[in-house]
């Protein structure tokens, strides 16, 4: 079986936790990871606090193939992600010469002062590599297995598009949905037995309600087409047996 490649995400920002800003990046990352066969295993949302960022990044990078962070690499005083990632890796954070030159030229062409605040966007942990930013120029960066990107959704998505071709990918999860007219309370025990007997699959049940009618969707996922079909058959047999009892 192909290697399982995993990812985790750290969403950084007081504005997310307070509700002032609604996150749009988690769902996009999940969609993109699933599309290329990478399992997004965990997402943490942390405040603009260095200790919280360091703890989350170090915990997640130690047990996942990749970690993605969003937010906190802008020009304001509370954009502390670069310093926090440097602290997590135990390296200095300073102006990256290439990023500095890139931003200096960008603001010069636009006739905008390259202020001390804007210069902050050129700071990176020592040894980091750039993630290009085709929208607003200020780059993200990669250090170890951690990819640090902007929180603005359009910029995050553009950065992610440049990162994905560089990632090691795994076998994609196959998926099939089996509709059930029976509620979760009825199918719960038998469905658990099916899951136990088909350990190469992941089986979930999701209650639905529409037009005054309840039903359940049973979703089966697996990296093996054979295992998927075997589990689908077992679920359908289980539902047929329960229907006969009713």
- Domain definitions of the chain by residue range: 5-166, 174-245
Which is nearest to 70 in space by CA: 5, 119, 140, 7?
140
Q: What is the pLDDT along the chain (246 residues), one digit of tens a residue?
A: 467 899 999 999 999 999 999 999 999 999 999 888 999 999 999 999 999 999 999 999 999 999 999 999 999 988 999 999 999 999 999 999 999 999 999 999 999 999 999 999 999 999 999 999 999 999 999 999 999 999 999 999 999 999 999 999 877 888 899 999 888 888 989 999 999 999 989 898 888 877 777 888 999 988 889 999 999 999 999 999 998 886
Element holding 159 (H helix, E strand): helix 153-163
For 5-166, CATH number? 3.40.980.10
Please classify residue 199 by burial: count the beta carbons closer than 10 Å to its beta carbon, then call 0-12 exposed, 13-18 middle and 19+ buried: exposed
pLDDT at 78: 87
What pLDDT is attached to residue 246?
63
Q: pTM value? A: 0.82
Residue 174 bridge partners (DSSP) = 222
Task: Tally the C-alpha atoms within 13 A of residue 153's C-alpha that lie toward its C-beta.
Answer: 10
In this structure, how many other beta carbons lie within 10 angstroms of the beta carbon of residue 5? Answer: 18
Q: What is the maximum alpha-carbon separation in the chain?
A: 77
- Class of domain 174-245 (CATH, top level): alpha beta
List Cβ neighbours of 35 (8 Å cut-off, separation of 6 or more): 172
Q: Where on the phi/psi map is residue 116: left (φ > 0), alpha (ψ -120 to 50), or beta?
A: alpha
Nearest to 61 by CA among 33, 88, 84: 88
Question: What local confidence, expressed as pLDDT, does residue 112 receive?
Answer: 95
Residue 243's pLDDT is 86
pLDDT given for residue 61 in this prediction: 98
What is the CB neighbour count within 10 angstroms for residue 128? Answer: 24
């Amino acid at each position: 079986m192909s290697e399982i490649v995993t990812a985790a995400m750290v969403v950084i920002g007081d504005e997310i936790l307070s509700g002032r800003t609604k996150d749009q990046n988690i769902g996009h990352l999940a969609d993109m990871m699933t599309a290329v066969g990478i399992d997004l295993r965990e997402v943490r949302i942390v405040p603009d606090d260095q200790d919280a960022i360091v703890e989350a990044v170090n915990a997640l990078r130690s047990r996942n193939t990749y970690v993605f962070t969003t937010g906190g690499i802008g020009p304001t005083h509370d954009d502390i992600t670069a310093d926090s990632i440097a602290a997590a890796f135990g390296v200095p954070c300073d102006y990256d010469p290439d990023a500095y030159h890139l931003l200096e030229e960008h603001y010069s062409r636009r006739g905008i002062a390259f202020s001390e605040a804007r210069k902050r966007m050129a700071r990176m942990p020592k040894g980091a590599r750039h993630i290009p930013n085709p929208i607003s120029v200020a780059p993200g960066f990669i250090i170890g297995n951690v990819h640090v990107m902007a929180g603005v959704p359009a910029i995050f998505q553009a950065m992610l598009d440049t990162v994905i071709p560089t990632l090691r990918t795994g076998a994609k999860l196959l998926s099939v949905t089996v509709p059930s007219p029976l509620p979760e309370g009825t199918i719960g025990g038998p469905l658990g037995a099916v899951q136990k007997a088909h350990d190469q699959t992941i089986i979930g049940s999701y209650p639905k309600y529409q037009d005054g009618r309840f039903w359940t969707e049973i979703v089966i996922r697996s990296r093996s087409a054979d295992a998927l079909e075997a589990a689908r058959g077992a679920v359908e047999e289980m539902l047929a047996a329960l229907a006969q009892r009713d």
